[in-house]
Amino acid sequence: MKLFAIGVGGSGAKCLEAVVHLHTLGLFDQEGSPSTELGVLFVEPDRQSALLQRSQTALNRTLDLREALDGVTHHFCHAGGLKDYGVWNPVEESMAGQGSLTMARIYAKETLQHRSPELGGLLNCLFTEEEQRLDLNEGFRGRPAIGSALMSAIELKHSKTWNAFLGDVRQAAKGGEAVRLHMFGSMFGGTGASGVPTVGRLLRNWLHQEGIRSAPLNASLLLPYFNFKDHGTEDTGLHAEAGNFQLNTGAALQYLSQSGDRDFDQVYLLGSDAKAAYDFSIGGVSQANGAHLVEFLAALGLRNSLGSTTGDWAAYTLSRHDRDTVNWSDLPDSAFTQRVLGRGARLAAVWRNNISLDLQNADGQSLGRFYVGAPWATRFYSSNGEEVRRLGSRKDKDTRLAADQWAEALLTWLKQLCSSTGGALEQNLLDPAQLDLQQRHLESLDDLVRSSDGATTRKRATDVEALKIKLDNRRTPGFNPEGTAGLLDTLWKLCDQP
């Protein structure tokens, strides 16, 4: 199966961050089917968006790890291919190198007023002078009407970014492969509220033109799930205001109620009554909102859609069993989701905060002496005459660095995920304190994954030293790769706890 995921705006980018991590952990693989391939594309007019950059960092670190492992592993990071289609910036697409872009330029206001004063007057009725003068390189500032007006005038197939994306969709669908397209974005901001319906309609039209009927187009749409701690001032200029979130959401949902069934096969609506509180920002590098549980649930919508077929008609609801907490049992396909996310958390924590620290200590000392304290290492690393004081080759050291950076990205995402559900809501999924990046050796994984009822999991020994003993005694039958790839693959199996 091939998945094509599109993240629109800042919240859409954060959803893609979740999708990339979950794909690496194997959450989208279907039992008895070949590994699922994933392609991701960002839609964002704000090139300086910290949310976009963070999501791209997670994507790039995952791609680096996959390249470093070079397809050697049989279990870890063995999900299907991952492809980055880049960022489509509709503002740059419209500017064509002509400098800044405003609504007044899009509609050639001066010419319009001269040729048709009535239409010029209509433009003034629809957009304020400040909105008409807004430099769109800075995003749409919580004004969906501006984004819709801009994006609806662009033909996707004429864009270099979209051309590569649509070409792969066409090739996969017409080649008989199972294909899913899934969009992510908020309904209460500017870019998402304007871009998801508009781009969704453009994609649906393209699918019809191509005669592609077997590729469902679905969407995870985010309803308000955070507020700002403070607000802008008169000097801030146009900016997203929390007071407009409900208004924007209502307008977007009204459009979807009238036209959504023609544009999307399935729609997932996700929000939260327990709002996270983020620092106020107009966008750019200052908009550094942490990952949120709602974005994780939006990514689970993609997993849910994989078992559906076009023509299915059903409505499902998702809610918490307990008003004040969220547990594993509240999540879709809870047992599998807990197993996959728990295994990923264990691997990242034990690698970054223990095994990797051991390997760093080995560099520059006698390997014989190191092996005495870490006999498990002899199962994966060997030295030759030229590398008496270095553990593994230079290439393998690069693989260790890639694994470190991937683990740091995953732990940071998980930490934010479990720390930003709002003061009125407690999460009982993972222990945030166990997800910190540390320079001291982690000794136990006991408290990392909580059970479905919120208690910590202690059903089996998760002492790291016991894990190392298993490393020394266990290799995957019929599969004995050397170095970091083999070590990671074996750890991945040992961290799996059904």
* pLDDT in the model for residue 16: 98
- CA–CA dist 395, 372 (Å, integer): 25
For 318, residues 6+ apart whose C-beta sits below 8 A from its C-beta are 270, 297, 330, 332
For 399, residues 6+ apart whose C-beta sits below 8 A from its C-beta are 68, 69, 483, 484, 485
* pLDDT in the model for residue 47: 77
* pLDDT in the model for residue 174: 93
For 207, residues 6+ apart whose C-beta sits below 8 A from its C-beta are 213, 215, 217
Cα dist from 103 to 106, 188, 290, 352, 395, whole Å = 5, 21, 31, 49, 51
Task: Give me the CATH topology for the region 2-100+135-318.
Answer: Rossmann fold (3.40.50)
pTM: 0.85
* pLDDT in the model for residue 193: 76
CB 332, CB 433: distance < 8 Å: no
Each residue's pLDDT, cut to its tens digit, for the chain (498 residues) gives: 899 999 998 899 999 999 999 999 999 987 756 678 999 999 988 878 889 999 999 999 999 999 999 878 888 887 679 999 999 887 766 555 555 666 666 666 666 666 777 766 666 666 666 666 666 665 565 555 565 666 665 667 667 889 999 999 999 999 999 999 999 998 887 677 778 888 898 899 999 999 999 899 999 999 888 776 655 445 544 444 555 677 767 767 777 777 666 889 999 999 887 777 766 454 445 566 788 999 999 999 999 988 766 556 667 778 888 888 889 999 999 999 999 999 999 999 999 999 999 998 887 677 778 888 888 888 888 765 444 456 767 888 899 999 999 999 999 999 998 876 656 678 889 988 889 988 788 888 888 998 765 454 444 446 888 888 888 775 555 555 678 998 999 999 889 876
* pLDDT in the model for residue 232: 45
* pLDDT in the model for residue 454: 47
* pLDDT in the model for residue 203: 92
Per-residue HEC secondary structure of the chain comes to: CEEEEEEEHHHHHHHHHHHHHHHHCCCCCCCCCCCCEEEEEEECCCCCCHHHHHHHHHHHHHHHHHHHHCCCCCCCCCCCCEEEEEEECHHHHHHCCCCCCCHHHHCCHHHHHHHCHHHHHHHHHHCCHHHHHCCHHHCCCCCHHHHHHHHCCCCHHHCHHHHHHHHHHHHHHHCCCCEEEEEEEECCCCHHHHHHHHHHHHHHHHHHHHCCCCCCEEEEEECCCEEECCCCCHHHCCCCCHHHHHHHHHHHHHHHHHHHHHHCCEEEEECCCCCEEECCCCCHHHCCCCCCHHHHHHHHHHHHHCCCCCCCCCCCCCCCCCCCEEEHHHCCCHHHHHHHHHHHHHHHHHHHHHHHHHHHHHCCCCHHHHHHHCHHHHHCCCCCHHHCCCCCCHHHHHHHHHHHHHHHHHHHHHHHHCCCCCCCCEEECECHHHHCCCCCCCCECCCCEECCCCCECCCCCCEHHHHHHHHHHCCCCCCCCCHHHHHHHHHHHHCCCC
The domain ranges of the chain are 2-100+135-318, 336-494
- CA–CA dist 391, 397 (Å, integer): 8
